Structure 1
Amino acid sequence: MTTRDGVTLRANVWRPAEGKAPTLLVRHPYDKDGTNGSATDAVPSVLSFVNAGYAVVMQDARGAFESDGDFTPKINEITDGEDLMVWLTEQDWYDGTVGAYGASYLGMTQWGLTLGDGPGLKAIAPTIASANWYSGLWYSQGGALSLSVVTWWNAMMYGNEEQRALEHGISTDDSALLQLRGAMLDPLALNEPTPVASHPVLGTGRWFDDWLTHPDFDEYWKTQDWSARIGEVTVPVLATGGWYDLKVHEQVADFVRIRTHGGTEEAREKSRLVIGPWDHINWSGSFPDRHFGILAAGDRAPSHIEFFDEHLKGTSPETPTPRVRIFVMGIDQWREETDWPLPDTAYTDYHLTSGGSANTRDGDGTLQLEAPTAEASDEFRYDPRDPLPTAGGALLPNLPGLVGPVDQRVVDSRPDVLCYTGPVLTESVEVTGFVELKVFVSASTVDTDITAKLVDVFPDGRAINLCDGILRLRYRNSLSEPELMTPGQVYEVTVPMSVTSNVFLPGHRIRLDVSGSNFPHYDRNSNTGGIISSEALEDMVVADTTVHHGGVRPSRLVLPVIDR
């Protein structure tokens, strides 16, 4: 097909041999010939949809693989999606109804379809995707650069561009391609160079520069924030994600937005949410340090087909589909819910306290329901030259020990980790929902980071991370308007810790880990208050951070407790 500005975009089409059919669209930059889905992937196989009576159109995005033009992330997706919808109306096999599905970037392009002019669009099914590209992907909810995914994804995409240039005769120099493909063999090494803005592999002159030039949530990002436009979405959304996926916080928030602000009653009432114990790549529910059982995996085709049958074919399911279906970790079971947040959520404060030595898992930090009257504090030192290594969480690339549930004993003996541990439980405690830390902090520098991690401590000593977050303290009041700190002054701040669902079983303990870095998940804070991406390691300074608690400074972990 040809776009309104004369660019040819190419697609693969699967369809029933005869007659008209409802159509499902997939638009992405990852090669239409190599991403057909399967029962074990994030998205169902193409053939499962064709066998259910659908046509499937899988299109390479502008500037990707076989499509012409230049690729720039997200910029052309709304208009190119509109042009694809126009092309569909010219096909004699198209019955006038269309849906869309796909994971990650493929989910983002679906949000683009809902914001464009597409009268035949009836439903979308974005998987592990969010509408906000700032706090939902490239930066954290607390303003830190999501370094490991930024370097890995850009090295992959720049490599694809270089390969395409060679194949199309645009270039004959393969040196950049060899460097980028070589870097992907050890993607963690991509995070070491400083200044990040002068990266020796990623170079300069493309969109990587733009992302680093705009560390604040400014107009550059606001124009790309489609979550602010969810009120324009008029079709139902089937959102599927994972508790250890890097986009889960914003994806669940998008579901809340469509439920409360969707542009039609159908969008508000018919949208669905499914969250399992998965990360961005691993959909088996099995990780080196945690296995969630055979129920964790499963083919997503039935739920997708049932959803599209209802909204594209008008076929109501025999049994009403639950609005929310979540995998509850701990008990390792699927459960159906009427809404999100769960209507019976009780946000409960777990107060931090200690004798002044909460450092390491063997320290004296505790969590308790009663607010301590005595004031106390704990200190740790964050050195950018020795940041706390990432051990699990919601990030990319998908490497063992880096992503997902990981035993925290690999890092919690370091003195720059404060551990606040609750008593051994005699009864189960369920935590399902958004988690946050409200904490009083001071630092020796004008800027630094606070990280917070929710941990399930097993009777055998394993300490498995559930969710976590980071706050760059210059963004304590606003992601758009940074404010440096006064060294030594105490501030009350909120650290967003994403979302989870877990039952802490009898014999287990609830733990909060606090530190000043999580590298390479997030970039090092230089602690100088300057433009971090432009600073070399030798320019960075050490920060001594104090966590205050008790008395008039009631630092507390806020957990969404479900008591049934």
Structure 2
Amino acid sequence: MPDILRIPPAPESPLSTPARIRMRDGVRLAADVYLPGAPEAADASPGDTILIRLPYDKSGVYCFIPLIAEYFTRRGYRVVAQDVRGKFRSEGDALLFVNEVDDGYDTLEWITRQAWSNGRVAMWGDSYYGYTQWAAAASGHPALKAIAPRVTGTQLGEPVRRTAAERVRRVEWGITYLYPLTQFFENDALHWEPDWSRRDFAAQAEEVIAQLGQRGLSYDQWYPNPVLLPRFPQGDPFAGRSVPVLHTIGWWDNCAPLSWADVAAIAERPNWEAHHYLRIEAIDHESYQLLEADGDRVAERSEAQIRALLPRTLDPALDFFEVFVRGNGRAGEVPRVSWNLAGTEEQRESATWPPAGVRTVTRYATADGALAEQPGPEATLAWRHDPADLVPSSAPDAFSFLLSLPDEAPIGERDDVLRFDSAALTADVDLAGPATARLELSSDGPVADCFVRLLDVAPDGTALRIARGQLQLLDAGTPHTLEIDLGQLGYRVRAGHRLRVHISSSDYPEFLPQTGTGADPWSWGETRITTQRTRVGGADGLALTLTVLEGALP
């Protein structure tokens, strides 16, 4: 049996006033209200409010909301921090995602009726409390004037669904079914770690459920017989009234594909695109930076380190709210895209993403392990997938990739990983825009996963992952050409460095591994070793396409 650490709600901040906000169905959600000024002399006059709705304890140390609220109130904002339904001090069922539109609307309505509110509300937050902003915006409440979601997406979290007609789909995250067994099982957070060597995860889940003596609604909604409950009116988060959005994405955020999918969806909706402002930073999901000072690259940040983190985390949103909530300044003066060229301290501005002046460059994999300017002779390359010897994930925690900043070079030494290298760069090259890989894949097993990693290899041989993508091929006995999105890049590759591509069929435990027999990876079962094949050379061989802003690739 795993050791389960139960995390109850922390004491409410003495800087706040507790509130219980009644939803339309009678459920009461717990909130803390922070007003400007000292508690004994708080400014209760009408003013602008920032709402934060989260499932990680409005009073807890993990998200340090009291420190964030203090920072916001110093700028004159009223702050409402709320535990979402079923979490910590809030009533109701701990049911992922589906109540956030209505609960967001009802909370906004409550705020507008308070004596300290002037009727204008903004929202801020990361991850799930970025998702609750999209949900509140979808509710259409007129009081919501702007949102600032960070490292999140409207399709956050749910398991991958298979349809009868598809041959290709996303690879399942290892965290997918764990999240409702830890963060969203009940009011308290439950911290426990699976035995990753067993891989019979469904059985381990049932052992935990038996140990807790109750079932979890969110887990049972998803497994083993998934029930799809609607998240948004009309099934579309962008179907209704738009609001100004400062949309922050991290280059190394493992949730970034969900963010970029929202960027693409917004681009198809003129009313949202008109109010969409993009900010891209060299951060991961937990806001560690690529160029972090060594003393700040620590798992447990001190209060002093958290306070030092607040300006770079919160000031962009406050500047945005100054224009779109308070009406100070003109929308035309706010950059449509602000982006960091990773590997430098530069935060650049552009009218579009990708920025103007980029060009696409394609390099071709060769049988001798090169990335070449022209295709070489045609050849078939093979690699194995052994469910008992999986390619390891490089970072111990995918959400804090830049905390460990792993060297991925050793992974390329495995015989179940294909490796391709460019020549060394003779001058710096700036990449800015999408990266894609195209390859033909087949397997002697029924299902094959394909992972593609793009690395920056330094002269000392260490390799930093700068882009990645993965797809799952169903009915894999028949060859199929995959177009694998490696995400977006804003990155400077230095002279003397080279680019490297890794191809593999597992990345464990970040992603659930294939059994080789087609059995469900979550329940595991019978396994066997499979062999995957791809082609190099010729017009249709394995190719990498990058978007270059400055410089020339070898």
**C-alpha distance in 1 between matches for 2:406 and 2:267:** 33
Q: 2:137 aligns with which of 100, 114, 118?
A: 114
Residue 438 of structure 1, CA deviation: 0.6
Residue 233 of structure 1, CA deviation: 4.5
Whichever residue aligns with residue 341 of structure 1, its letter is P
**C-alpha distance in 2 between matches for 1:315 and 1:191:** 57
Contact 1:233 1:262 in 2 (8 A): no
- Name the counterpart of 1:145: 172
Contact 1:138 1:150 in 2 (8 A): no
- Name the counterpart of 1:344: 357
- Name the counterpart of 1:14: 34
CA shift in 2, pair 1:465/1:130, >3 Å: same
Contact 2:433 2:547 in 1 (8 A): yes
- Name the counterpart of 2:463: 463
SS at match of 1:540: coil
CA shift in 2, pair 1:116/1:493, >3 Å: same
Whichever residue aligns with residue 238 of structure 1, its letter is L
- Name the counterpart of 1:250: 258
SS at match of 1:278: coil
- Name the counterpart of 1:371: 375
**C-alpha distance in 1 between matches for 2:334 and 2:396:** 30
303-312 vs 404-413, greater mean Cα deviation: 404-413
Which string of whole-angstrom CA distances, capped at 9 and with x for unpartnered residues, describes residues 462-487 of structure 1?
Answer: 1111121211112xxxxxxxxx23x3
**C-alpha distance in 1 between matches for 2:125 and 2:261:** 19
**C-alpha distance in 2 between matches for 1:273 and 1:206:** 35
SS at match of 1:111: helix
Query: TM-score, length-normalised on structure 2?
Result: 0.83
In the TM superposition, 1:471-550 aligns within 5 A as: 471-474=471-474, 484-485=475-476, 487=477, 489-536=478-525, 539-550=526-537
Q: 1:4 aligns with which of 17, 24, 45?
A: 24
**C-alpha distance in 1 between matches for 2:96 and 2:234:** 14
Contact 2:252 2:285 in 1 (8 A): yes
Contact 1:44 1:300 in 2 (8 A): no
Which string of whole-angstrom CA distances, capped at 9 and with x for unpartnered residues, describes residues 254-276 of structure 1?
Answer: 2343344153xxx4234222222
Identity of aligned residues (%): 27
Residue 312 of structure 1, CA deviation: 1.0
- Name the counterpart of 2:125: 102
Return 5+ residue gaps in structure 1 as ranges: 165-179, 355-363, 475-483
1:328 aligns with 2:332: no
SS at match of 2:24: coil
Residue 552 of structure 1, CA deviation: 4.6
- Name the counterpart of 2:218: 207
Which string of whole-angstrom CA distances, capped at 9 and with x for unpartnered residues, describes residues 410-465 of structure 1?
Answer: 32211011111011111222222232211012211121111100000111111111
- Name the counterpart of 1:562: 549
Residue 59 of structure 1, CA deviation: 0.9
Residue 225 of structure 1, CA deviation: 10
Residue 78 of structure 1, CA deviation: 0.6
Contact 2:442 2:448 in 1 (8 A): no
- Name the counterpart of 1:450: 450
- Name the counterpart of 2:5: none
**C-alpha distance in 2 between matches for 1:93 and 1:514:** 57
In the TM superposition, 1:154-303 aligns within 5 A as: 154-157=180-183, 161=187, 163=188, 181=191, 183=192, 187=193, 189=195, 192-196=198-202, 199-203=205-209, 206-213=217-224, 220=228, 228-263=236-271, 267-286=272-291, 299-303=312-316
Contact 2:459 2:496 in 1 (8 A): yes
Whichever residue aligns with residue 288 of structure 2, its letter is W
SS at match of 1:49: helix
SS at match of 1:75: coil
18-27 vs 446-455, greater mean Cα deviation: 18-27
101-110 vs 541-550, greater mean Cα deviation: 541-550
Residue 23 of structure 1, CA deviation: 1.1
- Name the counterpart of 1:395: 398
SS at match of 2:132: helix
Residue 52 of structure 1, CA deviation: 1.4
**C-alpha distance in 2 between matches for 1:78 and 1:284:** 32
Residue 253 of structure 1, CA deviation: 3.2
CA shift in 2, pair 1:296/1:277, >3 Å: farther
**C-alpha distance in 2 between matches for 1:340 and 1:500:** 11
**C-alpha distance in 2 between matches for 1:56 and 1:494:** 45
SS at match of 2:384: strand
Query: TM-score, length-normalised on structure 1?
Result: 0.81
Contact 1:382 1:543 in 2 (8 A): yes
Residue 226 of structure 1, CA deviation: 9.2
SS at match of 2:325: helix
Which string of whole-angstrom CA distances, capped at 9 and with x for unpartnered residues, describes residues 97-136 of structure 1?
Answer: 111111111000000111103111111001111111258x
Residue 243 of structure 1, CA deviation: 1.3
CA shift in 2, pair 1:36/1:416, >3 Å: closer
Matched pairs, number:
506
Whichever residue aligns with residue 58 of structure 2, its letter is K
Contact 2:250 2:285 in 1 (8 A): yes
Contact 2:450 2:471 in 1 (8 A): yes
Residue 206 of structure 1, CA deviation: 3.4
SS at match of 1:532: coil
SS at match of 1:350: strand
Residue 249 of structure 1, CA deviation: 2.0
**C-alpha distance in 2 between matches for 1:14 and 1:325:** 30
